[in-house]
Amino acid sequence: MTAPDEPAAPAPAVPELPKLLDDCVHCGFCLPTCPTYVLWGEEMDSPRGRIHLMRQHAEGAPLGEAMVGHFDACLGCMACVTACPSGVRYDRLIEITRAEVEREHDRPLRERAIRAAVFALFPYPRRLRALRGPLRLYQRAGLDRLVRRSGLLERLSPSLAAMERLAPALGPAPRLPARVAARGGRRATVGMLTGCVQREFFPGVNAATARVLALEGCDVVIPPSQGCCGALSLHSGREDEARRFARRTIAAFEGVDAIVVNAAGCGSSMKEYGALLADEPAWAERAAALAGRTRDFAEYLAELGPRAERRPLPVSIAYHDACHLAHAQGVRAQPRALLTAVPGLELREIADPDVCCGSAGTYNLLRPEAAGELGDRKAANVRATAAELLVAANPGCSMQIATALRRRGADIAVAHTAEVLDASLRGLDPRTLLARTT
Amino acid sequence: MTEAVSGLAERFTALLGPGGVVTDPVRLATYECDGLTNHRARPALVVLPDDGAQIAEIVRACVAAGVPYVARGSGTGLSGGALPRTDGVLIVTSRLRRVLEVDVPNQRAVVEPGVINLDVSRAVRADGYYFAPDPSSQQICSVGGNVAENSGGAHCLKYGFTAHHVLSCEVVTPEGEVVELRADDPGYDLLGVFVGAEGTLGIATKVTVKLTRLPETVQTLLAAFDSIERGGTAVSAIIGAGVVPAAIEMMDALSIEAAEASVACGYPPGAGAVLIVELDGPAAEVEHQFAQIRALCEEAGAFEIRVAADDAARALIWRGRKSAFAAVGRISPAYLVQDGVIPRTALPRVLARIDALSAESGVRVANVFHAGDGNLHPLVLFDDAEPGAAERAEQVSGAILDLCIEHGGSITGEHGVGVDKARYMPRMFTATDLDTMQMVRCGFDPAGLCNPGKIYPTPRLCGEAPGVRKGVHPLVEQGKADLF
Amino acid sequence: MATARTALEKVCGDVRADAEHGLTAAPASVEEAAAVMRAAAEHGLAVLPQGAGTRAHWGPPARRRDLVLDTRRLDRLVEHAAGDLVVKAEAGLPMGRLAAALAERGQRLALDADPASTVGGTVATGAAGPLRLLYGTPRDLVIGLTLVRADGEIARSGGKVVKNVAGYDLGRLFAGSYGTLGLIVEATFRLHPRPAVSAYVTASYTDPDAAHAAVQAVLHSPVHPSAVEVAAGGGGIAVGVLAEGATDRSGAVAALLGPGASADASPPAWWGRRPGGGILIEVTGRPTDLPRLLRAAPALAWSASGHGWTALPEDADPAPLLAALRAIGGAVVRTGPARVMQGPDVWGPLPALPLMRRVKDQFDPGHRLSPGRFAGGI
């Protein structure tokens, strides 16, 4: 997690870079947690190797295809940051490097086109919504199964195929009001980020988040003016675009006690706003303030403390640590504590919890083969728990793992921590959670 | 790239596919060092085989082409044992990572050399077993690397080293033959000498490891003393009482300060030394000895004793110790990690001498050590921005090794000789000793292509008759070797 | 030979000659031993290092023997660093004397050695008893070695600290090498404290599977035994477990062995004994091979570490038994009449023999050290 007072890196000269690179003593403790090292066993696709490549670049080696390929292959899961005993800031290093790649490196045409499509679509809820209609129609017509079987998309573009596979089954997406009032005595006023993918593809999660917050005594403010938080752009080195999104998000959320975020990737990037806008005098202070008030959903509820009654929910749950929650924000204990506080709920740990599921923001769209393999590994570990329900705090993870499980012929119900809590607070039958797969 | 190497590159690409051969200079450079970064050499070629048969083929091709080769596991070694040759092939075993067989009734498992040390224990924990060697890099170091280095760890005081936990190895010999070396087989104990040979006698492609029963109970105690001397007295008293704990670790004031700054381990304030003692085994046995150790620590002057009541408390006690190396980076811009051994009874004397060395030179030394077996890890601190500081630190570090030798100890307890300490070998051994050891190497590797330049400062010409050399070694004369 | 004798007498105060043994030299110091080896090299003598001779009849006889190098005058206990749990002794020191000295300080060398045998002989033959389950064999306990090479040069490996990875471990290479690589003149060992309590828990079985089940129950339990032994012969199968330490764990062990188990502070009569017979066979296998071995061998003394002994009468043909044992694990004939010991069937398969020969050629290019005494005719 980036401290808000960390000075941002002005491009292209990055004064902090040599120090950041020097922190690495080459011990290799990061290797076993790095998803690409786990997959390929190659030094240059490990954090230690990538830092070595960064150093080579800093010492004058050009950003060639080979080097950029290894930077692109990084999922940005930050498991290495957690594992590093020397406190190496790989999160900063890869961000600086990605921005450098975007500035300096000419990508091949086909790659550029896919990236342009992804970044023109996902950060824009309205565009995603426009896609929902045709997608629902396509699914309902059974065309999806036909297309999958034909392998047509795989031949055209593995990335397009990945997008198609990952799309969850869509139900109606209710709009949330601009304000939801606290139940039984207000304890706080919180803003709620609705996200892009979350809002369009998992509207139930946002509804559950708002209900839980309200039931726990929060006035929930949901500014209609909010847009994308900029996470996808920031994590892909598109810094200018990220700053634009950040400024808009800050403007939308000033005036609440806390901003509660239920998507791990969004939360982690909002906590980095201070660094992102440090060089813009008009925004630096506001950005740092907002970053300081940003909380993950589970983190916030743990701080607030429980008030509403938890009703029994007899269900076995495999809890998945989203990288941007566990590694980037250090939030591991809180969601587990929230879940295990529900009577009747049984929490099962997934083996190799530190290793990314392969979703990683846009990774599963840009590097579908590697993402698929990681998804398969995670799916196997999830399956081994024999839990009835998979719970994760990031929409990308849920889609990714559910898709991988489906490939293995095993459907599992998925839910967000908020939905489980919502079901408990409202005394719903666990079957309402188990009935749904993505 | 020489003609020989480019020929090999072509051949290996046909064998392994393009994904198994690295030729791009930028990528090759990421393999230029292992866990010790002050020796670097960009290999001419890196190969990533998937199985032992491929390794045999690679070795045979190297031998036929007269090209040297070096094997590397996870690249975590601290003596440069896997330092590549600029004119050679680096054979990386990280893709040989299958646990091939777990045989609980026979208390053994067969694994490939790239399997991570900790993953062996993970694979058998549910059955009540674990793999005993626990080097501090166990979450990433490979079993093949453990075999090469004869790795120990904090718990080797009671359980011994990798050599005691390997039942057999399938080995690709330096000439490319595949042979099974088994501890049980009649004849010379070639397995015994292969383990710990730092990859100079061939490459292990399958390792059968012994599994150890998980103990019934583990008890951990932290004792704080106002001085290292008192801590040392406690260690001697414990060993003298006939107790063999699983581990006895000690840290001095400077390393405690570093650990505190890094992980806030909360060790007793004002401690000049802390001792961590861990006992494991049958519950009654542990309980009895634990009381004994507690009393001995108190007698030796411990001003505070903490006992870990559960795994979380145990982890907290170990956290300071385990973070010590990395933590020192927070109180000093740079440091050298030394690895030397002394008889444990010499501990107070040697530590006093290290103190004096430090005072004389103005170079700070933090001490972290496996006190039970006298294995010191002095951390020699310096500021790399200051001219001459690195050289002074290097001198102090070397002087500490001289102290170890003077007291009948060793220049390395667990990090290995590699390329880093080859120059110290003549201080510990005579030319004849080294020549005799290298007879084994000549038997295994007459062509001298398997990880050359490691362990021994001067290669032995394998054709020559045994006997003490007089005059200048022919290789030195030709400029092909250096006596340091 | 006469000039050789003169040369030996010049460097060694104790040189004898008799019709049966030929020349014997008994040096009294490491330097003297080196001088003897040098003289032997100069005169091309085949040398047979020997200690107390307790295992001199083990293995095939030497093809050539010009000089017996008797180590028994090299009998100093060089250093017992009790605080470091380490002892260094010369090769000719009897193990019984060593054990007595160590016992005075509450320590032991955990090898169950024959008190009459010597330090050098114990290492050279890799001799170990029931404690091998927990402590291993000489290869695991030798931490330093001084040897005299075939050319008379003195060389050392290891040292006097337990934790040491500097250079190749020649201690492990020389352990069990039967005097074919060089002369062992000093050895340094890792020691262990003598336990306060020793309990031998024994039980008898008639069915090999039941005995095996008992052994497995102990192995997979947390009682941490020092030794688990099986002795079979004459119908019954005895299982014995040695539990040592600060406390008495015999109750827990007895519960694992089943009803009828009994505990004693001293070992049963059969403990650590090899079966009698003119042909002695060393057997190796996996722990789970025990039932098959019990059925294959007429008498068996077995350590749960995967090592044991069986025997046949001197006039028996060992071939069928060796074939049966080698179908399970390994079998080496240790003693037997000349027709057996000089036959082709002593060692069994030796996959690493070419490598062994190359190592031998380096250490003893003239093949003068105990020629023919070792695996594959080395």
Interface test with B, best of A19, A20, A23, A29 (most B CBs within 10 A): A29
Report pTM: 0.91
Torsion angle of alpha carbons B263, B265, B266, B269, nearest 10°? -90
Please state the rounded mean pLDDT for residues A214-233: 90
Contact B26 A67 (CB under 8 A): yes
pLDDT surpassing 70 at residue A174: no
pLDDT at position C374? 95
Q: CA-based diameter of chain A, in Å? A: 63
- What are the residues whose beta carbons fall under 8 Å from the beta carbon of A47, sequence distance 6 or more? A30, A31, A34, A37, A74, A80, A84, A88, A90
pLDDT at position C271? 97
The pLDDT tens digits for C152-205 are: 999 999 999 999 999 999 999 999 999 999 999 999 999 999 999 999 999 999
Fold matches, A17-104 and A310-434? no
Inform me whether the C-beta atom of residue B409 falls under 8 Å from chain C C-beta atoms.
yes
Would you place residue B38 in the very low, low, confident or very high pLDDT band (cuts 50, 70, 90)?
Answer: confident
pLDDT at position A111? 78
CATH of the domain at B366: 3.30.70.2740
pLDDT at position B102? 98
Closest CA to A212 of A87, A302, A272, A125: A302
Same domain, B320 and B344: no
Q: Please tell me which of the candidates B19, B27, B325 has its beta carbon nearest to residue A66.
A: B27
The C-alpha angle with vertex C301 and arms to C295 and C305, in degrees rounded to 5, equals 95
Give a yes or no: residue B205 inside a domain: yes
Rounded to the nearest angstrom, the gap between the alpha carbon of residue B363 and the centroid of all alpha carbons in its chain is 25
Residue of B nearest to A85 (CA): B326
Between chain A and chain B, how many beta carbons pairs sit less than 8 Å apart?
72
Give a yes or no: residue B120 inside a domain: yes
Give yes or no for a contact between A144 and A165, defined as CB atoms under 8 angstroms apart.
no
Q: Both tokens of residue B6?
A: 């480019």
- Is pLDDT larger for residue A414 or for residue B211? B211
CATH of the domain at B188: 3.30.465.10
pLDDT surpassing 90 at residue B327: no
pLDDT at position A12? 43
Give a yes or no: residue B475 inside a domain: no
pLDDT surpassing 50 at residue B482: no
d(CA B331, CA A132): 56
Contact A27 B137 (CB under 8 A): yes
What percentage of chain B exceeds 70 in pLDDT?
95
Q: Please tell me which of the candidates C166, C223, C347 has its beta carbon nearest to residue B425.
A: C166
pLDDT at position A7? 41
What percentage of chain A exceeds 90 in pLDDT?
51
pLDDT surpassing 70 at residue A10: no
- For the four alpha carbons of A278, A279, A280 and A285, in that order, the dihedral sign comes to positive
Just give the CATH number of A310-434.
3.40.50.11810
Residues in chain A whose beta carbon is closer than 8 A to a beta carbon of chain B?
23, 25-29, 31-32, 40-44, 48-49, 52-53, 56, 61, 64, 66-67, 70, 83, 85-87
Inform me whether the C-beta atom of residue B464 falls under 8 Å from chain C C-beta atoms.
no
Domain boundaries, chain A: 17-104, 109-166, 179-302, 310-434
- The mean predicted confidence, pLDDT, of chain C is 96
Q: Both tokens of residue A385?
A: 């728990």
- φ and ψ of C333, to 5 deg: -80, 120
Residue A190: strand pairing partners: A220, A258
Residues 277-336 of C with CB under 8 A from B: 282, 284, 286-288, 306-307, 329-330, 332
Q: Please tell me which of the candidates C161, C245, C362 has its beta carbon nearest to residue B342.
A: C161
Contact B185 C358 (CB under 8 A): no
Three-class secondary structure of residue B10 per DSSP: helix
CATH of the domain at B79: 3.30.43.10
Three-class secondary structure of residue A221 per DSSP: strand
Phi-psi region of B270 (alpha: psi -120 to 50; beta: other; left: phi over 0): left
Q: Both tokens of residue A98?
A: 């990605």
pLDDT at position A235? 81
- Is pLDDT larger for residue A398 or for residue B449? B449
Same domain, B354 and B389: yes
Phi-psi region of A7 (alpha: psi -120 to 50; beta: other; left: phi over 0): beta
CATH of the domain at B270: 3.30.70.2190
Closest CA to B257 of B319, B305, B324: B324
pLDDT at position A270? 93
What percentage of chain C exceeds 70 in pLDDT?
100
Contact C287 B105 (CB under 8 A): yes
> Helices (H), strands (E): how many in chain A?
26, 9
The pLDDT tens digits for C305-327 are: 999 999 999 999 999 999 999 99
- For the four alpha carbons of C355, C356, C359 and C365, in that order, the dihedral sign comes to negative
- Which residue among B180, B213, B246 closes a domain? B213
Inform me whether the C-beta atom of residue B484 falls under 8 Å from chain C C-beta atoms.
no
Number of domains making up chain B: 5
Residues of B in contact with C352 (CB under 8 A): 179-181, 185, 187-188, 190
- Is pLDDT larger for residue A199 or for residue B251? B251
Interface test with B, best of C31, C147, C162 (most B CBs within 10 A): C162
Q: Which chains touch B (3 or more CB pairs under 8 A)?
A: A, C
pLDDT at position C234? 81
Kindly report the nearest CA distance between residue C18 and chain B, in angstroms.
32
Residue A192: strand pairing partners: A260
Residue A179: strand pairing partners: A221
pLDDT surpassing 70 at residue B83: yes
CB atoms within 10 A of CB A152: 13
> Touch between chain C and chain A (3+ CB pairs, < 8 Å)?
no
Give a yes or no: residue B185 inside a domain: yes
Would you place residue A5 in the very low, low, confident or very high pLDDT band (cuts 50, 70, 90)?
Answer: very low
Interface test with B, best of A43, A45, A67, A89 (most B CBs within 10 A): A43
Q: Please tell me which of the candidates B75, B141, B330 has its beta carbon nearest to residue A43.
A: B75
Contact C220 B160 (CB under 8 A): no
- Which residue among B272, B304, B324 closes a domain? B324
The residue with tokens 């709009």 is: A175
The pLDDT tens digits for A276-307 are: 999 999 999 999 999 999 999 999 999 999 99
Same domain, B107 and B207: yes
pLDDT at position A227? 85
Residues in chain B: 484
Residues of C in contact with B411 (CB under 8 A): 166
pLDDT at position B167? 98
pLDDT surpassing 50 at residue C255: yes
Lowest mean pLDDT among A266-270, A393-397, B188-192, B222-226: A393-397
pLDDT at position B95? 97
Q: Please tell me which of the candidates C166, C193, C355 has its beta carbon nearest to residue B428.
A: C166
Would you place residue A115 in the very low, low, confident or very high pLDDT band (cuts 50, 70, 90)?
Answer: confident
pLDDT surpassing 80 at residue B266: yes
**Domain spanning A17-104, CATH architecture:** Orthogonal Bundle (1.10)
The domain containing residue B65 runs over which residues? 3-92
Would you place residue B67 in the very low, low, confident or very high pLDDT band (cuts 50, 70, 90)?
Answer: very high
Interface test with B, best of C355, C358, C369 (most B CBs within 10 A): C355
DSSP class of residue B116?
B
What would you report as the CA-atom Rg of chain C, rounded to the nearest whole angstrom?
22
Lowest mean pLDDT among A336-340, B331-335, B448-452: B331-335
Residues of A in contact with B33 (CB under 8 A): 26
pLDDT at position B385? 87
- What are the residues whose beta carbons fall under 8 Å from the beta carbon of A98, sequence distance 6 or more? A71, A235, A236, A237
d(CA B178, CA B181): 10
Q: Please tell me which of the candidates B190, B214, B417 has its beta carbon nearest to residue C355.
A: B190
Strand order in the sheet with A389-392: A345-349, A315-320, A389-392, A413-416
The pLDDT tens digits for C74-116 are: 999 999 999 999 999 999 999 999 999 999 999 999 999 999 9
